[in-house]
Amino acid sequence: MARIEDLLRQEFRGDVPAGPGPDAMLARVAKARRRRAAGAVAGCAAILGGLALAAVSVIPPGLTGAPGAGEQPAHVYHGQVINTVFTDQRHGYVVQQGCSLDNVTRVPEGAPTPDVHERCQTQLLVTEDGGLTWRTRALPGDPATKDAGVPLVQGHSLMLWVDGTGRLAFGGWDRRYWTTADGAVTWQESATPREVGPAGSMGVFTADDRLTFLTSPPPEGIPAKKAQPDPAVPATDGSFWTACATGPCVRVTRDHGATWPAMSTVDSATSVDWVATYDGRTAYASVRTPGGYRLVRTSDGGVSWSDVLGMPQPSAGAAALPDGDLLLVRASEEGGMYRLRAGGSTLEPVADAPAHAGPMYVSGGMVVAAQAWQESDRPDLASMVCVSADGGATWTAVPAPVD
Please select the residue that binds other proteins; options are 36, 119, 135, 378, rule is CB under 8 A.
36
Shortest separation between residue 23's beta carbon and other proteins, angstroms: 9
Residue 299 or 332 having the CB closest to other proteins = 332
Please identify, among the stretches 129-137, 148-156, 207-215, 318-326, the one whose residues bind other proteins according to the rule CB under 8 A: 148-156
Asked if 80 is part of the footprint of other proteins (rule: CB under 8 A), the reply reads yes
98/401 Cα distance (integer angstroms): 5
Is 315 exposed, middle or buried (CB count within 10 Å of its CB: 0-12, 13-18, 19+)?
buried
Instruction: Please identify, among the stretches 53-61, 188-196, 301-309, 394-402, the one whose residues bind other proteins according to the rule CB under 8 A.
Output: 53-61
Nearest partner of 82 among 176, 172, 216, 200, judged by Cα: 172
Distance CA 239, CA 204 (A): 12
Choose among 263, 302, 261: nearest CA to 281.
302
Query: Could you say whether residue 172 binds other proteins (CB under 8 A)?
Result: no
66 binds other proteins (CB under 8 A): no
C-alpha separations of 298 from 5, 71, 218, 304, 308 in Å:
32, 54, 20, 6, 10
* Residue 18 or 42 having the CB closest to other proteins: 18
Which H or E run includes 119?
A: strand 118-127
The correct pick among 56, 165, 312, 333 for binding other proteins (CB under 8 A) is 333
Rounded Cα gap, residues 265 and 286, in angstroms: 10
Q: Is 152 a residue that touches other proteins (CB under 8 A)?
A: yes
Confirm or reject binding of residue 40 to other proteins (CB under 8 A). no
Could you say which residues in the range 349-378 bind other proteins, by CB under 8 A?
356, 358, 373, 375
Stretch that binds other proteins, among 32-40, 236-244, 258-266, 277-285 (CB under 8 A): 32-40
- Confirm or reject binding of residue 312 to other proteins (CB under 8 A): no
> Segment near other proteins (CB under 8 A), from 5-13, 168-176, 318-326, 388-396?
5-13
* Region class of 88: left (phi > 0), else alpha (psi between -120 and 50), else beta: beta
Give CA–CA dist 338/106, Å, rounded: 40
Report 174-233 residues binding other proteins (CB under 8 A).
Answer: 224, 226-227
Q: How far is the CB of 98 from other proteins (least distance, A)?
A: 10
**DSSP one-letter code for 210:** B
Task: Give the strands of the sheet with 271-277, arranged side by side.
Answer: 271-277, 283-289, 292-298, 306-311
Q: Tell how strand 177-180 and strand 188-189 pair up.
A: antiparallel
Cα R_g (the chain), whole angstroms? 25
47 binds other proteins (CB under 8 A): yes
What is the footprint of other proteins within residues 240-299 (CB under 8 A)?
A: none
Please select the residue that binds other proteins; options are 38, 44, 51, 382, rule is CB under 8 A.
51
Tell me the closest approach of the beta carbon of residue 206 to other proteins, in angstroms. 21
Kindly tell me which of 72 and 206 has the beta carbon lying closer to other proteins: 72
The tally of CA atoms less than 13 A away on the side-chain side of residue 251 is: 24
Q: 334 and 323 in contact (C-beta within 8 Å)?
A: no
CB atoms within 10 A of CB 278: 24
97/282 with CB nearer other proteins:
97
End-to-end CA distance of the chain: 37
Judged by beta carbon, residue 17 or residue 192, the one nearer other proteins is: 17
Instruction: Select from 144, 168, 295, 329 the one that contacts other proteins (CB under 8 A).
Output: 329
Binding mask 95-134 for other proteins (x = CB under 8 A): --x-x-x-xxxxx-xxxxxx-x-x-x--------------
Q: Which of 12, 61, 69, 165 binds other proteins (CB under 8 A)?
A: 12
Secondary structure class of 284 (helix, strand, coil): strand
Nearest distance, CB of residue 101 and other proteins, angstroms: 5
